[in-house]
Structures are given as structure tokens and as C-alpha cells.
Structure 1
Amino acid sequence: MNSSTMYPSTLFLTGIPGLETIQHLIAAPFCFMYLFALIGNTVIVTVITSTSSLHEPMFIFLSMLALTDVFLCSSIVPKMLGIFWFNFGEINFDTCLFQMFFIHFFTGVESGILLAMAFDRYVAICNPLRYTSILTTNLIVKAGIMIVMRPAVLLAPCPLLIKRFSLYKTNVISHSYCEHMAVVKIVQADTTINSVYGLFVVFFVSGLDMFLISLSYVMIFRAVFHLPSKETHFKAFNTCTPHICVFIMLYMFGLFSFLSHRYGKNIPSYVHIILSDLYLLLPPTLNPMVYGMKTKQIRDKVVMLIVSQKRFNSMNCP
């Protein structure tokens, strides 16, 4: 329905505009990435929660990140694959708003967790003797509550600001999921408040976190360079490398998606949509590899589980 319509009860997601004929091929790697993200992050959560020696602040934050990644990719990929493979683009209006809220909520939670992990590394490297006295259980609980509450409170007005409109240009959303600005663009009214509030949320959450994370790593490297031991330099860099990789990957895709959606009028829509999809799917897929491969405690525990499972299977084979 491409003409003006009153408050629509049903919306239609197109998937990737311009690439409809090959969407079923694009769905295959997306499905693989989703399955890998589910398995990898579930393994990390299971290993950390079942191993008492890993109940430390860094691993607690890591398990929170892995759990958030599972919820984040699960909020978009099943519907996305339905669109790509079976052309199931129809979605209830309220369901679309729920998806929009949870997508941005989980990305906000992930950003907050990365900030907490950067603070953890800062304390561990710059104030190692006070690590346990600073990062207490009480502080971790309060940090976890703040990480969840901040995006929840800030994003709660977004669906309400959209539902106040009653006239829409169309009920077709040129996207593969219900992204905030993609939904706002189909409204036939002045959406300045929605756009300004969306910018405020982005800068207050992702912008502030990006600045604080960058500042923490600048302070970490500054402290490390003043240490005389090269072995200490290497250990500090090795510890921070996974966090920096995830940080750069998340905010690089996020910043490009944010800017291109508002200002990239010359960028083909399918490029923007694919990068927006990767922005939400690639970090959950790569995080298990980045942290699982680089974190010795997790890597050793996973190897032990695999070896013990093989032994158990061999003993039970006839």
C-alpha cells in the first residue's frame, strides 16, 4: 500500500531493496552466522557460569555480553530469514515497535557492557593492587542494573512518539527489520521530535560510551608505556586486544549505519541495509572467537569439555 493510509495494523518489511531476487542466497551466510553466534555465545555463558574459578568481574561482564548477543541476534534474524527465504515480510504494527525497542535496547546494553569491560581492564592494569577492593560484588550488581536501566528508560519514549501519529505514507518499510528511523520515515507528519530524540539517545548512549572507552584505553596505554618491563607491555596489549577489536567493530558499523541512514542519500539502499544487518549480526558472531580464542581460561575449559565428551562417547560406544 503505497498511498497515504491511516494508522496501519500491519506493516511489510521488504528485506533488502534492490536485491529481492538474490535474498535467498544472502540468507545462507546470515543463517550460518546466527547459528554460530547462538552456539558460541551459549558455550561462553555455560563455561563461565559452571566454572567457579571464572566468577571474576571480567568474566561476569563477558558472560553478560554473550547473553546479550544471543538476545540481540535472536530479535532480528528469525524474522529476517523468513523474509529472505519465504517472503514473510508481514508484521503487526505493535510487534514491529516491540522489535524496534528490543533491537536498540540490546545494542545499548552491549555498549554499556563494553564500557564496563574497559573500566575493568583499566583498574586491572592501572590499579592492580586495588582491583578487588574497587570491583566488588556490590559495584558489579549496581553496574549491571545501570547497564540495563539506562537504555530501557531512554528508549521507552520512542515507540510512544511513533504511536502518536495516525497518518502514514505507506505501510511498507524498506528494511529487513524495524529500525527506528526506517519506521519514522513512513510517517506522514512532522517527525522532527522523533529524529532529534533519536539523535539524543544515540549520542547519550553510544557516543558517550565510545568517548569513555577510548579515554580508558588511552589512560591504559599511557600507564603501560611508563612501565620498564617489555613483558608487561606485551601482557597488557594482549589483554586489551580482544576488547579493542570488539569495540572498533561494533562502533565502526554502528557509526556508518547511523550516518548513512540520515545523510548518505547517494549510498544505494541495499548497501545501507546490508551493513545495518551486519552491524547487529557480526559482533555476536565474532565475539565468541575473539574472546574464546584470546582468553586462555575459557579456551582451556572448552578444550577440556571437548576432550571429556570424546572420552565419554568412546567409553559408551559398543
Structure 2
Amino acid sequence: MANRSGEFYFELTGFPGIPAKFDILFSFAMFIVYNISLVSNGSVMVLIIMKEKLHEPLYIMIANLSFSNLFFDTVTLPKFIAKYWIDGGRISFLECIIQAYFGHFLAGLDPFILMLMAFDRYVAICKPLRYSSIVTHRATMVACGMFWLLVALVTLMNLLILKHPFCGPNKILSLFCNTSTLLRLACDDVNPTREAILTYGLVLLLLTLSFIILSYAIIILSIISLNYSKGWRRALSTCTSHWIVMTLFYVPRLFVYIANYVRLVLSPDFNVFLILLYSYLPHLANPLIYCLRTEEIKRTVANIFKKKFGT
């Protein structure tokens, strides 16, 4: 391949080791995943935007998380599904770079929103009397906006890949374009770029994870000090659901980053499985965990159904 973006294409492989007879089944499964994400995250966004009573800090954070998840799925999944349905697995160099940028941008945004939500739970449980003065509507909007802008700018670091020539092969061993898979296809020394991007990713994940762990550690200590069982159960139930999302998001992602950093060779199929695990499973779980377990949203949904069906 000549290194000219308009003249060559990459080919998305998905699971390179999957037998061809399972292609349609796998693509249909991903189609279902995308549609569930589209309906669930889209419904959450519309519900929070349309219902004024949900214009509160926590729901603003949830709406930002839902939009980020839906945007990521829309950037990555339709092209991959098209590979099997209309033989659309070819992706141009420019399309691949754009997809990789937005993929890293949106994946990098999620930990900041999760960190903000952990801070919200910390204030709500540990400083309930000061919650309305600390976590305000304006402060939440400003914080979310700053995180979107900050991550968008920092993710520009991934464009360092543009300085490398690509001379084949052109197989992307993944569901979508990302920097780590593209760097494997470059035909010069990519170690400085690779280490810079991996270091940035690890620092981002570890910093946000450290803040989240600290927040929940303080919350646990506060819960332990509660003298009434109802407060204990309610606070613990809220935190447990959040911990599930954190585990789904952070554990496989950190494993992949550390494996790449220490140059541990993972099989292509296992690597794609991990990408599936940390990229899409949290997006399916978020609406269920953050919304259906939130009393105000459950009441709002119940009221909508009562008005709709007259029950």
C-alpha cells in the first residue's frame, strides 16, 4: 500500500478465527446489540431532555453518558455490520482515521463522566445537607462541557499515527479502526508513538479510577457508620450498581492497555473479545443500572405508561 489516504483501503476482519458459517449469526447479534443500545440510550436521553423534573445534576450526567455510549456505537457498529450484510467491510484510510479518533475520544470521555458520577454519589451520601449547594445544575453543565472539550483536544494525540507510512498488510484485526491495530500495520518504527499513546491512555484510566476508588472508599466508611439499616441498604444498593458498571468498563480495558504496554501478545480473537466486552457490554448495562434503579426515572416512566394505556 502506498501511504496516500485516498488510494488504499483497510479491511475490517472482526473475529479473524471465526468460521465463515457463523458470520451471519455474529453480525445479527451485533445488530441486536446496536439496536438495544440505540433504543435504550436514546430513550434515556429523550426522557431526560423532555421531562423538566429530570433536569437535575445526576440525570444530566446520565444523559451525557448515554449520548457518549450511543455516539460510540453509531460510529463503530454500522460499518462492521455492513461488512457481512452488504460486503461493506472495506474502509478508506480517511474513514478509518476518523473512526479511530472518535472511538478513542468517546471511550476516553466515559471515565470522566463516571468519575463525575462517583463524586455526585460521594456528596449525596457523605454530605447530603450540602448537596444542593455543591452539585448544582450550572456546575454540572460546566463540568460535562469541560470534559467533552478536554478529551476531544487530548485525543488529538492519536493523530500522531498520521506521520507513519503504511505498506501492508491492510487487515484490521478488530471490529473497528483503533490506534493500536493501525500501528501494527505501519512499516517504520512506531515505538515512540505507541508508547506515548499507551502512556496517555493508562494515565487517564488510572487517574480517574483512583478518584473513583477514593470516592467509594469514603462512601463505604460513611455507610459503615450509619446506625439505621434502611440507610445502609439504600446506600449500598446504589453503590453496588455503580460498581458493576465500573468493573465492566475498567477491568478488561486496563488489562488490554497493560498487556499492550508490556508487549504481551494476545491472540487476535481474544483481543476482539475483550474489545466487545469493554466497549459494548457497559453500554447495554448503563441504562438498566443508572436509570431503572433510579427512583425518579422509574416514576416518570411509570407515569408515562399510565397516561398512555390508562392504567
Q: Which residue identity lines up with residue 103 of structure 2 in the other structure?
A: I
* Equivalent residue number for residue 175 of structure 1: 174
Partner of 1:316: none
Q: Does 1:101 align with 2:80?
A: no
Segments of 4+ moved more than 3 angstroms:
4-9, 84-87, 259-264
Residue 52 (structure 1) aligned with residue 46 (structure 2): no
Q: Residue by residue, what CA displacement relative to the aligned partner does 1:184-239 show, whole Å, maximum 9, x if unpaired?
A: 11001111122111122212322211111111100111112122222211121122
Structure 2 length normalisation: TM-score? 0.92
Q: Secondary structure at the match of 1:11?
A: strand
Partner of 1:63: 63
CA contact under 8 A between 1:12 and 1:91: conserved in structure 2? yes
Q: Deviations over 1:116-137 (max 9, x none)?
A: 0000000111111111111123
- Give how far 1:268 is off: 2.8
What is the match of residue 139 of structure 2?
139
- CA RMSD in angstroms, aligned pairs only: 1.9
The change in CA–CA distance for 1:250 and 1:163 in structure 2 (over 3 A counts) is: same
State the alpha-carbon separation in 2 of the partners of residues 240 and 6 from structure 1.
Answer: 49
Shift of 1:26: 1.0
**Deviation at residue 81 of structure 1 after TM alignment:** 0.5
CA distance in 1, matches of 2:155, 2:174: 20
Change in 2 beyond 3 A, CA 1:20/1:5: farther
| SS in structure 1 at match of 2:280 | helix
Question: What is the rounded CA distance, in whole Å, between the counterparts of 1:168 and 1:146 in structure 2?
Answer: 39
Q: Displacement of 1:298 after TM fit?
A: 1.1
Note the alpha carbon deviations across 1:229-270, whole angstroms, 9 max, x for none: 2221112112222221111111123123334555442x4311
- What corresponds to 1:130 in structure 2? 130
Aligned to 1:77: 77
Contact 2:161–2:179, Cα closer than 8 Å, also in 1:
no
- Report how far residue 172 of structure 1 moved: 2.1
2:11 aligns with 12
Identity, in percent, stands at 28
> Unaligned stretches of 5+ in structure 2?
none
Separation (CA, whole Å) in 2 of partners of 1:200 and 1:48: 36
Q: SS in structure 2 opposite 1:91?
A: strand
Give 1:147's aligned amino acid: F
Q: 1:20 to 1:152 in 2, by over 3 A?
A: farther
Is the aligned partner of 1:33 residue 2:33? Answer: yes
Letter in structure 1 aligned against 2:17: G
What is the CA-CA distance between 1:273 and the residue it aligns to? 0.8
Contact 1:151 1:205 in 2 (8 A): no
Cα separation, 2, equivalents of 1:106 and 1:167? 25
The Cα shift of 1:14 comes to 1.7
Which residue in 1 is equivalent to 2:306?
307
Residue equivalent to 2:290: 291
| Maintained 8 Å contact 1:292/1:298 | yes
Pick which of 233-242 and 63-72 moved more.
Answer: 233-242
The whole-number CA distance in structure 2 between the counterparts of 1:197 and 1:149 is 21
Alignment partner, residue 112 of structure 2: 112
Distance 1:126 1:162 in 2: 45
Q: Which has the higher contact order (CA 8 A, sep 6+)?
A: 1
SS at 1:19 equivalent: coil
Is the partner of 1:156 in helix, strand or coil? helix
The SS at the match of 2:91 is strand
**Residue 207 of structure 1 aligns with which residue?**
206
Partner of 2:184: 185
In the other structure, the counterpart of 1:90 is 90
- TM superposition shift of 1:169: 3.3
Q: Which amino acid aligns with 1:195?
A: R
Gaps of 5+ in 1: 313-318
- Give the Å deviation of 1:310: 2.7
Contact 1:165 1:189 in 2 (8 A): yes
The corresponding residue for 1:257 is 256
Could you tell me which residue of structure 2 aligns to residue 235 of structure 1? 234
> Deviations 1:149-194 (Å, cap 9, x if unpaired)?
22212111212x1111234232222222101100011001111122
What is the number of equivalent residue pairs in this alignment? 307
| TM-score in terms of structure 1 length | 0.90
The answer to whether the Cα contact below 8 Å between 2:100 and 2:179 also exists between their aligned partners in 1 is yes
Query: Matched residues in 1 for 2:296 and 2:196: separation?
Result: 43
Q: Secondary structure at the match of 2:169?
A: coil
